[in-house]
Chain A
Amino acid sequence: MDNIVGQKSSLTWLVNLAAAALVLLWTIPTFGLLVSSFRDRDQILTSGWWQSLFPQEASVQYRAGAPDTAVQEGGVYVISGNVFDELALGEVSAFGTNSRDPAAYPVGETITTDDGYELTVNADGSYRLTSATPLEGTRGERIFITSTQAPSFTTENFVKVLNAEGLGRGFLNTLTVSIPATVIPILIAAFAAYALAWMEFPGRALLIAAVVGLLVVPLQLALIPLLQLHLKAGIGKSYMGIWLAHSAFGLPLAIYLLRNYMAGLPRDIIESARVDGATDFQIFLRIILPLSFPALASFAIFQFLWTWNDLLVALVFLGSTQDQLVMTGQLKELMGSRGGDWEILAASAFISIAVPLAVFFAMQKYLVRGLLAGSVK
């Protein structure tokens, strides 16, 4: 539409660049955490995730074998071994014998130390210290090495959080909450929406206005009274309670979306069905419900994302013991108790995000449609 008049190519470039910058800005935080969830703990803590594709450098001090471990070989005293005995850190890139210049020599070179010994360190970490005279002292020679570690990625974090941190349990709990809470309100809302869209009765406009009003009622308001109600009714803190709560909280949006959609269906179809003697019940089940599929799908996605991602309702209406927590609740607990363990947080976050993201990318069309219909215009 904007291209009726030829656009300057410089402007097109600018638009492309600006859009790219915006997209980068919006995806980089998520991407950073995603990359981190596959890195091992030590690497996360010692280098930024943006460096994860490059080799990591680390400087370590190593003490060669003690002088009394030297063996005599063809007239010289030899101590040999591997600097990676204790720490596996990849490859040696340089070494030195002085803390002021820990990377003085390239690997493979034979040098003479201050004490007059000859020392070689190879890339694989093996070293050889030789001396013409017996070595003196009780402690081994100090060797400083600079190692480079190849980038390494692992899926261990995910295994760990699913089992040890109990996220597997949380996943099941979340699923248990969100599926019924998505399915149950749909039919209830659909009948109500049909009545509000196609049946004439006094008070209809008032009810529609009430639904629009209820759309924005803050949940905070409902928490305490409903918790008391549930305790009194004997439901207590249970799945039944949270299903009912989520279903009811989702109803205003469901009714509103479905009513708007149904009201937009062609009048002719419904009128001619009425003339043919169909009852409202039949019209609803045979005509309206199938035709309303896109709106039903939109609402189902909204409700699923909302119930899956919800923290507040779950914290209040489900218990907060380890077995009862949903994933968002567990994630919040982990942020408090394991604040510095980014490998655990990152992997946990991605397990909880994975399902909504999959739903999002698979059903984006319906989500957009629902948003467009759902915002009061």
Chain B
Amino acid sequence: MEQFFGAATTIVIGVGGCLLYFFLTNLLLGRIFPASGPNISRNINRANAIRPWLFLFPALILLALYLVYPLFWSIYLSVMDANGREFVGLYNYQWMVSDPKFLESMRNNILWLIVVPAFSTFFGLLAAALTDRIRWGNFAKAMIFMPMAISFVGASVIWKFVYDFRPEGQNQIGLLNAIVEAFGGAPETWLTHEIVNSFLLMVVLIWIQTGFAMVILSAALRGIPEETVEAAILDGASPLQLFFKIKVPQIWGTILVVWTTITITVLKVFDIVLAMTNGQWGTQVLGNYMYDWLVRGQDSGRASAIAIVIMLLVTPIMIWNIRNARKEMR
């Protein structure tokens, strides 16, 4: 109860405080530079120059303190020792390139980077193309989109149950092993099976991200100018030709956006690995490895160095996004 009271108070103070801040600063600005008197035009100009910054101030402070400052502080911590006290130069990075677990994480992250965006985009495109043509399309879309609302941990429980193992001879209760047995195979402890297990974890993320890809790509498909489609049909294009030669090339830009957005999600993946294998049996990824060094290893130097690596991997996409956004604004 106490925490609810705290939460309610915070909402009231937070929202009320914001409103009060904006109202008061605005009032103050009007007093200092009144839109009347001898210097009216100079006053209005000055007020207009200051006002945007008053509007931006709370957001900028939060962003600077919670996102920009950590970026630089992490770089600093990554060249310090485990407690952040002594300067160790590039030692943490040197350690990294010879650490087998880090190399394993890198290898897995690269695998994830190739597999997850590709399959999510593919299934998303497939789902978009199919559901746009059927009567119950909206229902189908909602069902495929649904995993987006499920937490990564919840999804991990769902899929761990699918991969569950019972020794041979017992009734399998996991769907995967039941199917394997139905086809005459022997049940496996899938999550301890190296390489295979990484792919099984990727399935979880693909399952979640397909809905996102589908929604965006479906909107893009519907935005294709009708004339191009009509012309192709009149020219006798088959449905497959129509799709791959007329429609897909026109939404190429959107496909790229979907691909890069999922790539970012993949680079940060953490919950799924932590919950399903905790990086054992060759499934470690950077996100979870960083957390491991932060919480279990208690080494802010190494953990920061790994975080910087994740940041470096994200940077090309970040730059690409910024350039796109600027192009669009012009």
Contact = CB atoms under 8 A, between A and B. Distances in A.
A349 B325 CA distance: 39
A328 interface: yes
Interface in A233-278: 239-240, 243-245, 247-249, 251-252, 255
A251 B59 CA distance: 7
Report which residue of B49, B66, B278, B318 has the largest number of chain A beta carbons within 10 angstroms of its beta carbon: B66
B6 A176 contact: yes
B233 A26 contact: no
Given A22-B130, A180-B11, A183-B15, A28 B74 contact: no
Report which residue of B59, B174, B278 has the largest number of chain A beta carbons within 10 angstroms of its beta carbon: B59
A191 B70 contact: no
A209 B325 contact: yes
B interface SS class: helix
A371 interface: yes
B196 interface: no
Given A16-B134, A187-B18, A26 B144 contact: yes
B158 A30 contact: yes
A20 to B, nearest CB: 8
Interface string A308-351: 11111001100000000000100110011000001001101100
Contacts of A168: none
13 contacts: A15-B133, A15-B134, A18-B126, A19-B137, A183-B14, A312-B270, A331-B151, A335-B275, A352-B151, A353-B149, A353-B150, A353-B154, A356-B149
Contact of B51 (A2, A199, A251, A371): A199
Interface of B: 3-4, 6-7, 10-11, 14-15, 18-19, 22-23, 26, 30, 48-49, 51-53, 55-56, 58-60, 62-63, 65-71, 73-74, 77, 84, 123, 126-127, 130-131, 133-134, 136-137, 140, 142-154, 156-162, 164, 170-175, 178, 207, 210-212, 215-216, 219, 226, 229-230, 233, 239, 242, 253-254, 257-258, 261, 264, 267-268, 270-271, 274-276, 278, 287, 290-291, 294-295, 300, 303-304, 306-308, 310-311, 314, 317-319, 321-322, 324-326, 328-329
B25 to A, nearest CB: 9
A125 B171 CA distance: 25
A346 B15 CA distance: 38
Interface string A189-201: 1011011100111
A364 B51 CA distance: 36
A228 B253 CA distance: 41
B161 A32 contact: yes
A338 B156 CA distance: 14
B267 A218 contact: yes
A164 interface: no
Contacts of A248: 62-63, 65-67
Contacts of A123: none
A30 B157 contact: no
Sorted from nearest, which 5 A-B pairs have the closest CB atoms? A248-B66, A309-B151, A360-B149, A192-B59, A225-B73
Given A209-B322, A218-B307, A19 B271 contact: no
Contacts of B170: 46
A109 B149 CA distance: 56
A175 B11 CA distance: 13
Contacts of A312: 270-271, 291
Interface in A214-234: 214-226, 228-229
A226 B15 contact: no
B153 A311 contact: yes
Contacts of A364: 142, 145
B307 A346 contact: no
Contact of B271 (A11, A28, A247, A328): A328
Contacts of B70: 221-226
A23 B274 CA distance: 28
A32 B175 contact: yes
A144 B153 CA distance: 44
Contacts of A335: 153, 156-157, 160, 275-276
A interface SS class: helix
B66 A188 contact: no
Contacts, number: 355
Contacts of A7: 239
Contact of B157 (A46, A175, A349): A349
A281 B175 contact: no
A349 B146 contact: no
B160 A311 contact: no
Contacts of B242: 2
Given A183-B14, A224-B73, 9 more contacts: A2-B239, A22-B126, A192-B55, A220-B290, A222-B70, A245-B66, A280-B51, A281-B23, A376-B324
Given A239-B6, A248-B62, A195 B267 contact: no
A47 B170 CA distance: 9
B74 A23 contact: no
A195 B52 contact: yes
A280 B35 CA distance: 14
B75 to A, nearest CB: 9
Given A46-B171, A224-B294, A23 B140 contact: yes
Contacts of B59: 188-189, 191-192, 251, 255
A20 B137 CA distance: 10
A157 interface: no
Given A346-B157, A356-B151, A217 B130 contact: no
A328 B151 contact: yes
Interface string A2-19: 101101000110011011
A23 B126 CA distance: 12
